[in-house]
């Protein structure tokens, strides 16, 4: 068979060859572009991962609960604070659960569930805020973000916890400021007090010498009636016998007062030196006694005080600043409770008793008093925020709540209340691991 | 300008005028890219003007006519290749009303570098809309063709009246789209 060339075959072939070249060049250009775009995508992905990590870290560090829920209100992502708030209400893990169902279920039994659920749904759908009471005295505020394609953001705030934290911060700031002030005053008073103490000693010694002079003169003049009479006249005119009998007692009282001021100043200095927010070795007996001294004017007219330390080694690993607040709260509560009693007992018959002991590796501090105690109906509520047995306005009801948080949360310990054998209230502080340092 | 436009232009020439004429058009004169186009690339819009001029010389048809034909062809191809953009629309007017705010936004998300024309749409009444096109690239004829392609795609009886541009200005034009009664 012979092959003949098509009349237009040559030009068609050339045309197809050009087209083929263009297509091949286009493919190469596309591959190059694809490579560049892949690189860009890879870098963009790395950037996105870094941004995501930064965002998640920021969300994780929020004090409020933060979550993203999908359009069916299922929790897609949440921070630890969010999980912790809900787990405190439900007692179980809430990860991946439905937020609407979970929030509806955590309200107290007496709640109108339908109305409650409607309010939650309304807040979620209209990107608004809804505040409600949960179980265990927890009050929550739900704030829903705008509804977007992926769902929406939700912020859950434990209002009571938030307020308590604010109170603690405020108290810590005040305490710090007062500590600085007290430290400064203590420092300024220490030197003049030293002068007073030294001069009192000098005056007392000098007076003893003067007394000896008077005695010597009396002995020397006893042979002469005239001189004896003269000395007697001088004694009478200047009331020397009265001065000689009263001055030592006056000087003793001044020295005692000076010593008391010195103790207060030492306590203030010790207190301000311990005013830190970290767990560190501290002499618990000294700390407690310094608080007893500083709060003396609050209890001295109501009762006596007894501090008994059964520890061999009084150095314990605690947050001194926090314990100072707890000690002060418990002492003031006892003193006020005793002071408010219509009792026949005298000041000396009432007492606040504190015992420090060690059980295994736990530090135990027991506060007991002869006050009226806490009734059975209130004993479960004393650690609730804003609970108070005092008249309206006399107390914020935060002292025991904050104390409980300091012991239970900050020290991972336990603060409990019961009836004391002394007749009043008994508070027991138990702090594990206090002797590890 | 997106490479997809150039690829579709070559497709149109090959389909409507044959491979040989397409080859001659692409080989006409000197172009920076050597007439190699991929849909994922970006090219100077002036090259499209040069290609249309070359096709005009090869076919004897005016550039205006060719650009209009290409616009009509292009709409059909874009509707086929990017159905997600027009999914949910069943008529010309709704599509035009959403063109700037919805469709161009979607395009901008996919192609952040895309320089899109400005399309201003005003609903005059139930039967008429006014479409104002503006682009410094000057493809008013292409816009007119796209509008006709859209009407063809939705198979609606709509008449397009184009306000004459002064000095054959291609950077802007105004189209009036009016619904008409079918004449049976």
ipTM of the complex: 0.71
φ, ψ of residue A309 in degrees (nearest 5):
-110, 120
Q: φ, ψ for residue A71 (rounded to 5)?
A: -70, -15
Using a CB-CB cut-off of 8 Å, the residues of chain A touching B21 are: none
Q: Is A44 on the interface with B (CB under 8 A)?
A: no
Q: Of A385, A380, A415, A379, nearest to A397 (Cα)?
A: A385
Instruction: Report the residue of chain B nearest A28, measured CA to CA.
Output: B38
pTM: 0.48
How confident is the prediction along chain B (184 residues), in pLDDT tens digits per residue? 889 999 999 999 999 999 999 999 988 877 656 778 998 888 889 999 999 999 999 999 999 999 999 999 999 999 998 888 888 899 999 999 998 888 888 777 777 777 888 999 999 999 999 999 998 888 999 999 999 999 999 999 999 999 876 666 788 899 999 998 765 5
Residue A15 to residue B36, Cβ atoms within 8 A: no
* A25 CB within 8 Å of a chain B CB: yes
Q: Tell me what the mean pLDDT of segment A133-138 comes to.
A: 76
Averaged pLDDT for residues A23-47: 89
User: Which residue of A12, A29, A37 is in closest CB contact with B36?
Assistant: A29
By C-alpha distance, the chain B residue nearest A11 is B20
Write out the residues of chain B at the interface with chain A, using a CB-CB cutoff of 8 A.
19-20, 23, 26-27, 34-41
pLDDT at A409 over 60: yes
Q: How far is B22 from chain A (nearest CA, A)?
A: 10
Q: Is A46 on the interface with B (CB under 8 A)?
A: no
Calculate mean pLDDT across residues A339-350: 80
Residue from A398, A420, A427, A423 nearest A341 by CA: A423
Instruction: Give A140→chain B minimum CA distance, Å.
Output: 40
Q: Tens digit of pLDDT for each residue in A235-291?
A: 899 998 899 889 988 998 898 888 888 878 877 777 666 656 678 899 999 999 988
Question: How many interchain CB pairs under 8 A, A with B?
Answer: 31
Q: Which residues of A touch B31 (CB under 8 A)?
A: none
Say which of B20, B26, B40 has its CB closest to residue A30.
B40
Verify whether the Cβ–Cβ distance B38 to A33 is below 8 Å.
yes
Residue of chain B minimizing CA distance to A21: B36
Decide: helix, strand or coil at residue A424.
Answer: coil
Cα Rg of chain A, angstroms: 40
Q: A15 contacts in B (CB within 8 Å)?
A: 19-20, 23
Phi, psi of B116 (to 5 degrees): -90, 150
**What pLDDT is recorded for position A290?**
87
């Amino acid at each position: 068979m012979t092959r003949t060339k098509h009349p237009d075959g040559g030009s068609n072939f050339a045309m197809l060859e050009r087209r083929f070249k263009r297509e091949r060049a286009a493919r190469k250009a596309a591959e190059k572009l694809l490579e560049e775009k892949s690189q860009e995508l890879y870098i963009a992905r790395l950037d996105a991962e870094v941004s995501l990590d930064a965002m998640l870290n920021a969300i994780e560090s929020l004090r409020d609960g933060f979550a993203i829920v999908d359009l069916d209100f299922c929790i897609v992502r949440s921070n630890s604070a969010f999980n912790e708030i809900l787990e405190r209400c439900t007692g179980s893990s809430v990860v991946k659960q439905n937020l609407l169902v979970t929030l509806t279920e955590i309200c107290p039994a007496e709640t109108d569930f339908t109305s409650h659920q409607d309010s939650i749904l309304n807040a979620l759908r209209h990107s608004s805020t809804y505040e409600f009471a949960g179980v265990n005295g927890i009050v929550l505020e739900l704030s829903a973000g705008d509804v977007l394609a992926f769902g929406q953001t939700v912020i859950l705030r434990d209002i009571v916890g938030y307020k308590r934290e604010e109170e603690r911060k405020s108290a810590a700031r005040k305490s710090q400021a007062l500590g600085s002030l007290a430290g400064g005053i203590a420092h300024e008073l220490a030197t003049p007090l030293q002068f007073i103490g030294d001069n009192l000693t000098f005056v007392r010694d000098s007076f003893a010498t003067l007394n000896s002079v008077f005695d010597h003169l009396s002995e020397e003049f006893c042979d002469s009636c005239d001189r004896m009479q003269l000395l007697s006249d001088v004694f009478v005119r200047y009331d020397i016998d009265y001065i000689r009998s009263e001055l030592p007692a006056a000087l003793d009282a001044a020295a005692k007062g000076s010593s008391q001021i010195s103790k207060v100043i030492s306590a203030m200095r010790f207190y301000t030196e311990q005013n830190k927010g970290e767990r560190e070795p501290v002499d618990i007996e000294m700390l407690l006694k310094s608080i007893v001294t500083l709060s003396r004017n609050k209890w001295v007219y109501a009762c006596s005080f007894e501090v008994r330390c059964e520890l061999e080694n009084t150095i314990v690993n605690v947050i001194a600043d926090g314990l100072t607040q707890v000690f002060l709260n418990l002492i003031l509560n006892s003193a006020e409770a005793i002071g408010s009693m219509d009792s026949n007992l005298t000041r000396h018959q009432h007492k606040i008793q504190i015992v420090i002991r060690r059980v295994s590796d736990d530090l135990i501090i027991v506060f007991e008093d002869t006050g009226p105690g806490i009734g059975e109906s209130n004993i479960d509520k004393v650690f609730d925020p804003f609970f108070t047995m005092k008249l309206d306005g006399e107390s914020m009801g935060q002292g025991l709540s904050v104390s409980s948080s300091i012991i239970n949360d900050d020290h991972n310990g336990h603060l409990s209340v019961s009836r004391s054998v002394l007749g009043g209230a008994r508070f027991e502080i138990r702090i594990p691991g206090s002797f590890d340092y | 300008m997106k490479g997809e436009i150039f690829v579709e232009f070559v497709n149109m020439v090959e389909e409507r005028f044959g491979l040989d004429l397409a080859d001659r058009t692409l080989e006409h004169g000197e172009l920076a890219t050597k007439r190699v186009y991929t849909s994922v690339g970006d090219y100077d819009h002036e090259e499209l003007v040069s290609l249309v001029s070359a096709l005009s010389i090869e076919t004897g048809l005016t550039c205006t006519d060719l650009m209009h034909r290409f616009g009509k062809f292009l709409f059909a191809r874009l509707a086929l290749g990017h159905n997600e953009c027009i999914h949910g629309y069943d008529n010309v007017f709704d599509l035009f009303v959403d063109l700037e705010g919805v469709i161009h936004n979607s395009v901008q998300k996919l192609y952040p570098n895309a320089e899109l024309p400005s399309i201003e749409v005003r609903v005059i009444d139930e039967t008429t809309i006014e479409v104002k096109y503006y682009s410094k690239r000057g493809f008013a004829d292409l816009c007119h063709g796209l509008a006709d392609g859209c009407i063809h795609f939705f198979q609606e009886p709509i008449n397009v009246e184009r306000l004459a541009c002064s000095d054959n200005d291609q950077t802007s034009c105004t189209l009036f789209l009016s619904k008409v009664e079918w004449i049976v």
